[in-house]
Amino acid sequence: MSFGGSVLAFLNSVIRIEKGKIPQELIPVLTGVFEKVFKENNDMKTETRRMLLKSRTECNAKLEKLQIRYGLGEISDEVYQTTYKHLNAEIARINNLRYSVDYQRVTVVIKQKRQLIFINCRFQSE
């Protein structure tokens, strides 16, 4: 069930809204709850992105050190190739996770806006 669907279920079952009308005294409470949920979601996504960017930066630094050590002849070709493949795979994994987080963030925001518009239109039309 989507976030918007669970909100509608909550409103319909717990508050028992009659004829699509939200009692005026509940609007500030619901607004506060929505704002808190959206803020926590955004904070979590921001922290995840920060951690992924830090990990990618660390991998890039390791890759650069690896290339320098290889260029100076400190490591063998086999060690270089194996480590290079591993670090590139890790960078690709981090990039995929970051893309996934960004895509989820945009998707969640779009879904939330659609649900809020739908709820607003539904209550205003009745």
| Per-residue model confidence as pLDDT tens digits over 34-57 | 777 777 777 877 888 888 899 999
Instruction: State the residue for tokens 């992924």.
Output: 52
| pLDDT at site 98 | 84
| pLDDT at site 21 | 61
| pLDDT at site 13 | 47
83 has pLDDT over 90 = yes
| pLDDT at site 1 | 41
Torsion on CA atoms 63, 66, 72, 76, rounded to nearest 10: -140
State the DSSP H helix or E strand holding residue 27, giving kind and residue range, or none if neither.
helix 27-71
Rounded Cα–Cα distance for residues 112 and 109 (Å): 5
